[in-house]
């Protein structure tokens, strides 16, 4: 795939950023999201790099619409799929900055969740507190990229020599990271986790993970699946404070069904006393995790040498407002936790792709209406760069369909003028050649795919990923 270029060169453009979670199709069958997207690219995508395996259906009624999709994650693919399905004369070129497609579906949240690998936005939110640059403090995004083989994070080498780790954030990524840190190594060996991460985690001293959030149990952002996996994680026990859940049962009955089930499971884990075989397993557990509520980080405390993490200072918070929109207000109470590893999982953020495309730096989104970029005719956006880093992959799918509908409506109404011929990939191809850039075709990706799967098979894993762009290009050009 080629590096993404500016919109005016290609004509019509859809900017894609992926969301996070499984597709409806993936929920109905064991097919992974990556396999699902691969099916789209091979059979229905208009990506010129795909070669003779692609299919384009033309119609004498529909005018030809040339679309450039920047980003090969779920948002980009779903937008392309909807356009191809409902406007048969659409011609789509997909551009990706890495030599491998599918964006962060490939570099997703957890290697033991192959059916839900997906998240979007290319930078992370920071805490903005003293000590954030100490050795042993990492963003969850970088940590996830490290164990999933994202080239830019291959040399992270996280500090895992302390027994206690603190994760800031109460979302799915926080639980995913905690689970990877605490999972039995034999479980991880069966996944496509990178070899260097597997070795590091096998030698890790971490056996206690504290997951901190600034609001209460009713406001947690993770889902029931991730919570259930943490509760049932072999060799690990949960240490939840019963006082955090007292008085919540009367409130839960009025919550929406999915939210109700999640909070009921949380209350059960926090209040009920385990007995029998389950109690024996908990007693024998060598690792533990806990949720700490109503705590907001004030400072990362340095160790004695002043170079690495020694702990984290938290302020106790109180909630104001209704259950759903309750805001955390800092109090004067302070709590210190000793730890040698801090992972910040407080959200992701998109960045501007090009000065010619409007961008809200504060919100980290492209200003738009139903995917139509404001003050930029012919430019559309989809995914997290459209609405911010919220929602699951089904949300992203529906959001992408909405953007595609906007494109089709504008074509049909004449707002989007497609009567003039556009150069499309021919223009991009000439520009790439001029700049000395040799794009990786889809056939090149298939070589990478086959190479990684063969390497994984040798060690009993579904895949052993190549970890650098240089290695990927070498295999793709063989």
Architecture of domain 126-346: 3-Layer(bba) Sandwich (3.50)
**Cβ 35 vs Cβ 463: under 8 Å:** no
Q: pLDDT tens digits, residue range 60-85? A: 456 788 899 998 888 888 999 999 99
Q: pLDDT tens digits, residue range 397-409? A: 889 999 999 999 9
Read off the pLDDT of each residue in 187-205 and give the average, rounded to a whole number.
Answer: 94
Per-domain boundaries in the chain: 7-105+349-439, 126-346
Q: pLDDT tens digits, residue range 211-254? A: 999 999 999 999 999 999 999 999 999 999 999 998 898 899 88
| Segment (H or E) for 187 | helix 185-188
Q: pLDDT tens digits, residue range 304-320? A: 999 999 999 999 999 99
Check residue 32 and give its pLDDT: 35
CA–CA gap between residue 421 and residue 167 (Å, rounded)? 53
Percent of the chain beyond pLDDT 90? Answer: 51
Read off the pLDDT of each residue in 131-139 and give the average, rounded to a whole number.
Answer: 94
Q: Select the highest-mean-pLDDT range: 112-116, 186-190, 279-283.
A: 186-190
Is 393 a residue whose pLDDT tops 80?
A: no
Using CA atoms of 274, 280, 284, 289 in order, give the dihedral in degrees to the nearest 10.
-10
Percent of the chain beyond pLDDT 70? Answer: 80
Phi, psi of 88 (to 5 degrees): -65, -20
Q: CB atoms < 10 A from the CB of 3, how many? A: 13
Gyration radius of the chain over CA positions: 24
- CATH 3.40.50.720: does it fit domain 7-105+349-439? yes
Q: pLDDT tens digits, residue range 432-450? A: 899 998 888 888 999 999 9
Q: pLDDT tens digits, residue range 333-347? A: 999 999 999 999 987
Q: pLDDT tens digits, residue range 294-305? A: 999 999 999 999
Check residue 378 and give its pLDDT: 92
Contacts of 128 (CB under 8 A, 6+ apart): none
Check residue 175 and give its pLDDT: 95
Q: Are strands 341-344 and 164-168 parallel, antiparallel or unpaired?
A: parallel
CA–CA gap between residue 261 and residue 240 (Å, rounded)? 18
CA–CA gap between residue 371 and residue 78 (Å, rounded)? 13
């Amino acid at each position: 795939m080629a590096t993404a270029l500016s919109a005016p060169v290609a004509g019509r453009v859809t900017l894609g950023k992926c969301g996070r979670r499984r597709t409806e199709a993936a929920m109905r069958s064991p097919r992974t999201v990556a396999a699902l997207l691969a099916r789209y690219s091979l059979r229905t995508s208009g990506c010129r790099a795909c070669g003779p395996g692609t299919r384009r259906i033309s119609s004498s009624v529909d005018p030809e619409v040339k679309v450039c999709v920047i980003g090969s994650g779920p948002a980009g693919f779903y937008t392309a799929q909807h356009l191809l399905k409902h406007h048969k004369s659409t011609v789509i070129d997909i551009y990706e900055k890495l030599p491998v497609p599918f964006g962060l579906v490939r570099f997703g949240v957890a290697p033991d969740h192959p059916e839900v690998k997906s998240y979007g936005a290319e930078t992370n939110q920071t805490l903005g507190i003293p000590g954030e640059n100490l050795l042993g403090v990492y963003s969850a995004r970088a940590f996830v990229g490290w164990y999933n083989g994202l080239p830019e994070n291959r040399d992270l080498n996280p500090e895992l020599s302390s027994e206690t780790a603190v994760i800031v954030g109460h979302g799915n990524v926080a639980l995913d990271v905690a689970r990877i840190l605490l999972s039995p190594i034999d479980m991880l060996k069966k996944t496509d986790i990178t070899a260097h991460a597997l070795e590091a985690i096998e030698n890790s001293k971490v056996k206690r993970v504290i997951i901190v959030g600034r609001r209460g149990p009713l406001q947690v952002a993770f889902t029931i699946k991730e919570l259930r996996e943490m509760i049932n994680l072999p060799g690990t026990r949960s240490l939840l404070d019963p006082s955090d859940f007292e008085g919540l049962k009367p409130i839960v009955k009025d919550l929406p069904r999915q939210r109700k089930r999640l909070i009921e499971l949380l209350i059960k884990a926090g209040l009920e006393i385990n007995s029998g075989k389950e109690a024996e397993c908990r007693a024998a557990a060598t690792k533990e995790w806990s949720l700490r509520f109503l705590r907001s980080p004030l400072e990362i405390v340095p160790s004695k040498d002043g170079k690495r993490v020694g702990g984290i200072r938290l302020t106790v918070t109180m909630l104001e407002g209704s259950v759903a929109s309750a805001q955390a207000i800092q109090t004067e109470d302070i709590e210190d936790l000793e730890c040698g590893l801090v992972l910040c999982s407080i959200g992701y953020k998109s960045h501007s792709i090009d000065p010619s495309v409007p961008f809200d730096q504060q919100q980290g989104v492209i200003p738009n209406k139903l995917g139509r970029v404001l003050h930029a005719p012919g430019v559309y956006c989809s995914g997290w760069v459209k609405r911010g880093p919220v929602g699951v992959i089904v949300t992203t799918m529906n959001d992408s369909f909405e953007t595609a509908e906007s494109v089709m409506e504008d074509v049909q109404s004449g707002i989007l003028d497609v009567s003039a011929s556009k150069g499309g990939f021919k223009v991009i191809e000439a520009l790439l050649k001029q700049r000395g850039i040799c794009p990786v075709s889809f056939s090149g990706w298939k070589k990478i795919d086959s190479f990684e799967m063969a390497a994984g098979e040798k060690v009993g894993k579904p895949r052993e990923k190549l970890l650098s762009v240089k290695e990927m290009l070498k295999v793709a050009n063989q």
